[in-house]
Amino acid sequence: MAKLKWGMIGGGEGSQIGPAHRLGAGLDGAFEFAAGALDHRPDAGIDYGRRMGLGDRAYGSWQDMLEGERAREDRVDLVTVATPNATHFEITKSFLESGFHVLCEKPMTMTVEEGEEIVKIAAATGNICAVNYGYSGYSLVRHMKAMVARGDIGKVRLVKAEFAHGHHADAADADNPRVRWRYDPAQAGVSAQFADCGIHAMHMASFVCGQEVTRLSADTVSCIDVRVLEDDAMVNFRMEGGAVGRLWTSSIALGRQHGLTLQVFGETGGLRWAQEHPNQLYHMPLNGRLQVIERGEGNLSPEADRTSRVTVGHAEGMPLAFANIYSDLAEAIRAQKEGRPMDPAANLYPRAEDGLRSMAAVYAVAASGKQDGAWLDARPPIFR
Amino acid sequence: MAKLKWGMIGGGEGSQIGPAHRLGAGLDGAFEFAAGALDHRPDAGIDYGRRMGLGDRAYGSWQDMLEGERAREDRVDLVTVATPNATHFEITKSFLESGFHVLCEKPMTMTVEEGEEIVKIAAATGNICAVNYGYSGYSLVRHMKAMVARGDIGKVRLVKAEFAHGHHADAADADNPRVRWRYDPAQAGVSAQFADCGIHAMHMASFVCGQEVTRLSADTVSCIDVRVLEDDAMVNFRMEGGAVGRLWTSSIALGRQHGLTLQVFGETGGLRWAQEHPNQLYHMPLNGRLQVIERGEGNLSPEADRTSRVTVGHAEGMPLAFANIYSDLAEAIRAQKEGRPMDPAANLYPRAEDGLRSMAAVYAVAASGKQDGAWLDARPPIFR
Amino acid sequence: MAKLKWGMIGGGEGSQIGPAHRLGAGLDGAFEFAAGALDHRPDAGIDYGRRMGLGDRAYGSWQDMLEGERAREDRVDLVTVATPNATHFEITKSFLESGFHVLCEKPMTMTVEEGEEIVKIAAATGNICAVNYGYSGYSLVRHMKAMVARGDIGKVRLVKAEFAHGHHADAADADNPRVRWRYDPAQAGVSAQFADCGIHAMHMASFVCGQEVTRLSADTVSCIDVRVLEDDAMVNFRMEGGAVGRLWTSSIALGRQHGLTLQVFGETGGLRWAQEHPNQLYHMPLNGRLQVIERGEGNLSPEADRTSRVTVGHAEGMPLAFANIYSDLAEAIRAQKEGRPMDPAANLYPRAEDGLRSMAAVYAVAASGKQDGAWLDARPPIFR
Amino acid sequence: MAKLKWGMIGGGEGSQIGPAHRLGAGLDGAFEFAAGALDHRPDAGIDYGRRMGLGDRAYGSWQDMLEGERAREDRVDLVTVATPNATHFEITKSFLESGFHVLCEKPMTMTVEEGEEIVKIAAATGNICAVNYGYSGYSLVRHMKAMVARGDIGKVRLVKAEFAHGHHADAADADNPRVRWRYDPAQAGVSAQFADCGIHAMHMASFVCGQEVTRLSADTVSCIDVRVLEDDAMVNFRMEGGAVGRLWTSSIALGRQHGLTLQVFGETGGLRWAQEHPNQLYHMPLNGRLQVIERGEGNLSPEADRTSRVTVGHAEGMPLAFANIYSDLAEAIRAQKEGRPMDPAANLYPRAEDGLRSMAAVYAVAASGKQDGAWLDARPPIFR
């Protein structure tokens, strides 16, 4: 099976996200790193790309890359957009319109309107537009979704999500440029911690429950005075299937490293998962005993089996979750090329609609936070 | 040191709370079980009391006990009220007015007005009126309070409290009388799960932070349809010292057994404690590493040392936390008898003011829950 | 039900073990603290005993107490011996011979021969001689035993026990008298860490498996040079029912607080329990999933139900385990008084035979350790 | 930087180890999968290799591959040997002698003599011969080694290692060919569980402590009757620097999934790490408090930083540990090509000497197990 060709925009030398994507895309051997515009400084990007083995497909700008790749027969099959947030919309839009499949880092856009436009373009062109809610790639997150879908815990009553860390808790560090921009509306938009982290937890809640968020009420606070945007938020929400949601996100929670957790409580069972120990899933059947489901154990779901790479008991971590998103996309692209339906167990990558819904939720959280927690519609207008 | 004499109202044969109080009161040998009106059925109460060794101080009703004990020279030093909730006010009031010290089970009263009356009577008579927020007796909860008070984590920014269990998650069990009354306003008042469990977490948050709750906003839901009162609630609050609070309580959280947890995040550190494993306290200093504080280790605080009974590494559990409340009260009573100031490390038992504040919070939660989460004053009128 | 009368020898002011016994004996109200010879200094013992409310039953020596109590009609029903190790034998023997029931702290004796003598006296007199392997009182340890006995994990193949702590790891502290005597053969006998801690783990292994240890091989080491006796030992053993045993004990294991753990692996399941979190028991059924058994949950065993005092999810700790031993003894004494068979679920207290077997194991470990791990008979001669 | 070329022998379609190696080798983009003899059936191997994109470098046998690659200018830089155990020696020897660098799966050989021969050939040719003790690639295992080396816990007194699982506990499954061969001396050699799993733990103990094992005593048992070789073993050992070792390995430990753990106790601190949660390392300083070291946190060691790929709090798993071995090898090969010293933080891959020492330990364990735990020299003759 020939490798698919993959290109990247952003993710230059020294970036954190670049290696993570290259690792994820390369992990299964499905994608070959073939082209890139890796830096906003043309020379640096070309130089780094060449050192990465891209040859003349190391471009100086995304515009050059768009032009260059469009002209080739062996154009890249998938473009990953990992540039600063404010540029995601324009680049994603341009590549989609030129016939490329795109995986866009989150946030997909800066506004709901832009999000709606991307959704429409993706639909109109038939090109894949995925958004990197990468934590949804964990094997046991997939299995939670499968368990909920097949009724293992009955109708979902309540979902409890958290994404709390303490890495921005130092007031003395608040002026550090690496941190400060996140809390500055001029650079970060309407929300800081919810948009940065909380939205991953909300996506995961929707993903696992198979229900979209309809309404929400938020309590947002800035625990460090100089911050305009929130560093801690509590969001209550309701979902279309009737489930109640509660989501806490914080960047001042000293002692939490990467507290992305999900608890789902249904009529006949409860589930609990935590990203820091992602290879165990706790299942409490009604009137039963707490059980520990291990990633990689036999007889889970097709969704779990497909995304599990090493045998039970061996930890798998975040890079493999990431890789699972790429694996989904490889299957989606191949299926499209071959004119066949794709493996349903792979058809789980987050898509433009998720990017759009997230943006609507971010705006709703920001607005509710300013209105004493007023309950607001969390849906993008085109989905109401 | 002669033992103090102790009496109990309620807690008859087969009750859960009776043995817990007797165990707590007797644990250190400070109190001798001397009198009781243990059952609302006079004969049963007298019979059981006699079998417990109370002799002619086994009474048929609390009124008889009040009269009988008042007439004795060796009257009981402390009366515990562990009767059904609706009777707490009248009994507590009567004993306080007759010169007895009282430990009342929570809730102290059914209304804020009653609570205010008890506070005034306790103040006027000089008698001790304690309320049994027994989880505040854990040695490491005491130590958390001491750490916050001495500035180990700086000014508190945020407190995150939970009290979640799954023991009322079975819809088929909702009509079981043992469960049903809790969700019936006619019997339980304005709130179910918050008043039953959440209030413990809120008391603990106030206790540890040394700050009272001023305002709150609640999202209350009944996940099981037949219930009028809430079985799940999320409460956001603010405290007088500026701390933000977030409190979740649930009785449908399958997989949680007794999820009473507290996280406190300050300017220079974070703390985390969980009732299910109460002998460890996690401390994250700013820019440091997570550390595990063990109950019973050397060089903690006077408050921790006083309430630690066995050597480090040996688990202590809930009954000893309970006993610590009794130990506080023994010291308070002795100090009063001896006309000396009490040991400040013992002066930590919850009191009538806490009972009153809790009642005000319960009403505020219920009201906010009905008003789409409106922010309401959580303080009792006399403390505003 | 009239209280039983209880007396104590040793456990004077400032001792650690005294309060633990008084707490355990008093917890359920079955025993009344009635007599004591609490200190080897007669005046101090009488003074402390009087302050504890013993009146003229506060004795200056165990000999006085033996004489005084023997002369009374209301003599104590049970005597606890908590004196220095070397005196256990003489005191226990004397009281047994005079018709008292005895609970002796471990070690019951200093030699195997003495142990055999105690066993014979107890048998001849019909008096109860219990030995305080108190950790066997934990509710879930009792439940483990019940599960093994009823075949829940099939025939036991292997048992893995540990008792490791790091409280004697400081070389600078090795000369501290509080620590030094434990490693000095003149004061401690033939073994230090195994006799002090390891033997608890070995008793628990036997208790839970229902099999006695027959042969053993030990590797004993002194990690701190000045110590003559071992501060770390690994013991392999075999049990009469065919189970293989592996036991590690250490006092230099920095990071372990009180690492008493037991794992039992059978043909159809595995069990795991740890004293530091004693309210959970992990059960792995063959070809199943790891399950968490909670102390206090419904439908466990009579042995577990009897020893569980607070509702599920509330931690119970070591003092209650201790109390369960006293509770067993109260039932044993009452049954004997009333001439009826005792409750089989209470008939689980460790007895003189256990004390004897332990002493034989201690000698075997010490001898094997000196003989390069030679396999030696671990049984006392009279049980071979 | 041009990619290194990598070839593989074994690891054909459906094998477990093949994908793990390809994933590890490809992860950082240092190696390009260029050649392979993937199956002992020539046609199947060629076919699968071609489908993997190897073209005419998909060979039908390792002999063909040796000949084919030797003839090329762009011959592979590294050959991984992942064939059945009995063939490792011959293949590794042949490739080393022909000038290739080799990474051999463990066991490197079936006998000590063969191991000595490999060591000599590697030394004589100057070619790299690595052995895949892949768990030593975990970032925090590297950090443990660095901490020990720089004296953070003082002189090591004792090391406690475990590798226990329960995947061969089902007696009904003992005849399953997938399981049976492991316990059959004709196929597996002199040892089953120790050679398969325990040796990883022993290597890790040596690796972390920086000390080789000198003497050992083993208790080996077959818990399932039909097995000739051991399914459970306890090994006590001594190390050249004076440290005491205790190692338990089991395949019948129901409830353990992949219990590879290491505890190291030194004069001034203790360390604890478990493969199932590999992103945390517990450090207990003497007279201090237990601290949690997180993979990826700042200011660890160069060895940890080099092997950490994603930010703190995001789990990394086994495949990345594996990849770290390949990363070491890439650096070693490049340094050799460029005639420069290699990065010392990468100079940690297990090598032929480790493979040889392991084989000597396996034989010593097997022999000691048959001699009632006699203490035997664990060193290969050429290292005595």
Which residue of A291, A300, A312 to mutate against C (max C Cβ within 10 Å)?
Answer: A291
Tokens at residue D16, please?
A: 């477990």
* Tokens (6 digits) for C238: 């075999």
Structure tokens at C47: 């003074």
Q: Please name the residue of chain C whose CA is at the shortest distance from the CA of residue A285.
A: C291
CATH number at residue C114: 3.40.50.720
Count of CB contacts below 8 A, A vs C? Answer: 20
CA distance A349 to C281: 39
Asked if the C-beta of C319 comes within 8 angstroms of chain B's C-beta atoms, the answer is yes
Answer yes or no: do A263 and B255 touch at CB < 8 A. Answer: yes
Greater pLDDT, A14 or C102? C102
Q: Is B316 close to C318, i.e. CB distance below 8 A?
A: yes
Statement to judge: residues C13 and C158 lie in one domain: no
Residue B127 lies in domain: 4-131
Helix (H), strand (E), coil (C) string for chain B:
CCCEEEEEEECCCCCCHHHHHHHHHHCCCCEEEEEEECCCCHHHHHHHHHHCCCHHHECCCHHHHHHHHHCCCCCCCEEEEECCHHHHHHHHHHHHHCCCEEEECCCCCCCHHHHHHHHHHHHHHCCCEEECCHHHHCHHHHHHHHHHHCCCCCCEEEEEEEEECCCCCCHHHCCCHHHHHHHCHHHHCCCCHHHHHHHHHHHHHHHHHCCCEEEEEEEEECCCCCCCCCCEEEEEEEECCCCEEEEEEECCCCCCCCEEEEEEEECCEEEEEECCCCCEEEEEECCCCEEEEECCCCCCCHHHHHCCCCCCCCCCCHHHHHHHHHHHHHHHHHHHHHCCCCCHHHCCCCEHHHHHHHHHHHHHHHHHHHCCCCCEECCCHHHC
**Is C291 in CB contact (< 8 Å) with chain A?**
yes
Return the structure tokens found at D222.
Answer: 């077959």
CB contact under 8 A, B292 and D297: no
Give the pLDDT confidence score for residue C242 in this predicted structure: 96
Q: Which domain-ending residue is among B98, B131, B164?
A: B131
Confidence band, pLDDT 50/70/90 cuts, at residue A15: confident
Whether ipTM tops 0.85, in short, is yes
pLDDT tens, D317-351?
Answer: 888 888 899 999 999 999 999 999 999 999 999 99
Q: Are B117 and B302 in contact (CB under 8 A)?
A: no
**Under DSSP, is residue D117 helix (H, G, I), strand (E, B) or coil?**
helix
Calculate what percentage of chain A has a pLDDT beyond 90.
85
Question: Best of B140, B257, B261, B277 to disrupt the C interface by mutation (most C CBs within 10 Å)?
Answer: B257
Q: Are residues B64 and B170 in the same domain?
A: no
Q: Are residues A127 and A186 in the same domain?
A: no
Closest partner residue to C257 (CB to CB) among B276, B294, B309 is: B294
Residue D6 C-alpha, separation from nearest chain A C-alpha, in angstroms: 14
The answer on D124 and D176 residing in a single domain is no
Give yes or no for B299 touching D (CB within 8 A): no
Tell me the C-alpha distance between D115 and D127, whole Å: 15
- Per-residue pLDDT reduced to its tens digit, A117-128: 999 999 999 999
Q: Report residue B162 as tokens.
A: 């939970």
Together in a domain, D81 and D151 = no
Q: What is the dihedral of CA A250, A252, A256, A262, to 10 degrees?
A: -10
Same domain, residue pair A265 and A307: yes
Q: Is pLDDT of C29 > 80? A: no
Mean pLDDT, rounded, for A335-363: 93
3-state secondary structure of A280: strand
Closest alpha carbon to A295 in A276, A283, A309, A284? A309
- Residue C48 within any structural domain of the chain: yes
- Chain D environment of B290 (Cβ under 8 Å): 291-292, 294
CB proximity B277 to D under 8 Å: no
The three-state (H, E, C) secondary structure of A196-257, written as one string: HHHHHHHHHHHHHHCCCEEEEEEEEECCCCCCCCCCEEEEEEEECCCCEEEEEEECCCCCCC
A156 and A297 in a common domain: yes
Count the alpha carbons within 13 Å of C253 in the hemisphere toward its beta carbon. Answer: 25
Same domain, C146 and C268: yes
Residues of chain B in contact with residue D292, where contact means CB-CB under 8 angstroms, are 289-292
C363 plus C222 within the same structural domain = yes
User: Cβ contact (<8 Å) for D317 and A313?
Assistant: no
At C44, the amino acid letter reads: A
Question: Are D286 and D159 part of one and the same domain?
Answer: yes
Query: Is pLDDT at C20 greater than 80 in this prediction?
Result: yes
pLDDT tens-digit profile of C70-96? 999 999 999 999 999 999 999 999 999
Tell me the average pLDDT of chain B. Answer: 94
Give pLDDT, residue C313: 84
Structure-token match 């702590």, residue found? C165
The percent of residues above 70 in pLDDT, for chain A, comes to 100
Distance from CA of A23 to the nearest CA of B (A): 29
The secondary structure element, H or E, covering residue D178 is helix D177-180
**Domain assignment present for B322:** no
Q: Note whether D292 contacts B291, CB cutoff 8 Å.
A: yes
Contact list in C for residue D276 (CB cut-off 8 A) is none
In a domain, B362, yes or no: yes
User: With bands split at pLDDT 50, 70 and 90, how would you rate the model's confidence at C283?
Assistant: very high
- The pLDDT of residue C159 is 98
Residue C2 has pLDDT above 80, yes or no: no
- Contact residues, B window 67-126, toward C, CB-based 8 Å cutoff: none
Residue D345 lies in a domain: no
Closest residue in A to B156 (Cα) is A223
Q: Considering only A36-50, A161-175, C307-321, which range has the smallest mean pLDDT? A: C307-321
B122/B142 same-domain check: no
Block residue for tokens 């060919």? D177
Q: How confident is the model at residue A336 (pLDDT cuts 50, 70, 90)?
A: very high
The letter for the amino acid at B150 is: R
Residue of chain C nearest D217, judged by CA positions? C373
Q: How many CB atoms lie within 10 A of CB B298?
A: 8
Q: Is B41 on the interface with C (CB under 8 A)?
A: no
| pLDDT value at residue A200 | 96
pLDDT of residue A1: 60
Q: Does D175 fall in a domain?
A: yes
Q: How far is D325 from chain B (nearest CA, A)?
A: 28
C52: closest CA of chain D, how far (Å): 36
Task: For chain A, count helices (H), then strands (E).
Answer: 13, 14
Q: Of the candidates B153, B142, B98, which has an alpha carbon nearest to the alpha carbon of residue B121?
A: B98
For residue A325, being part of any structural domain is answered with no
- What's the confidence (pLDDT) of residue D1? 60
Of B375, B383, B351, nearest to B92 (Cα)?
Answer: B351
Per the structure, how many domains does chain A have?
A: 2
| Helix, strand, coil abundance in chain C, percent, nearest 5 | 40, 25, 35
User: Of D106, D131, D156, which residue constitutes the final position of a domain?
Assistant: D131
Q: D-chain residues within 8 Å CB-CB of A197?
A: none
Q: Is A330 inside a domain boundary?
A: no
Smallest Cβ–Cβ distance between A284 and the set B166, B171, B270 belongs to B166
Strand-pairing partners, residue D137, are none
Domain boundary among C131, C163, C191: C131
Other Cβ atoms closer than 10 A to C261: 20
Angle ∠(C235,C237,C241) on CA atoms, nearest 5? 155
Mean pLDDT of C242-248: 98
CATH number of A362's domain: 3.30.360.10
Instruction: Tell me how long chain C is.
Output: 384
- Beta partners for residue A218, in sequence order: A235
Note whether residue B336 is domain-resident: no
DSSP D351: B
Q: Which whole number is the average pLDDT over B169-191?
A: 92
Interface check for B289 against chain D (CB to CB < 8 A): the answer is yes
Q: How far is D158 from chain B (nearest CA, A)?
A: 21
In this complex, how many residue pairs, one in chain C and one in chain D, have their CB atoms less than 8 Å apart?
123
| Residue B158's pLDDT band (cuts 50, 70, 90) | very high
pLDDT at B1 (0 to 100): 59
C-beta atoms surrounding C320 within 10 Å? 30
- CB of C50 less than 8 A from some CB of B: no
On whether both D159 and D213 belong to a single domain, the answer is: yes
Q: Where are the alpha helices (DSSP H) in chain C?
A: 17-26, 42-51, 62-70, 88-97, 112-125, 139-149, 177-180, 185-188, 193, 199-209, 302-306, 318-338, 352-370
**What confidence category does residue D132 fall into, taking pLDDT thresholds of 50, 70 and 90?**
very high
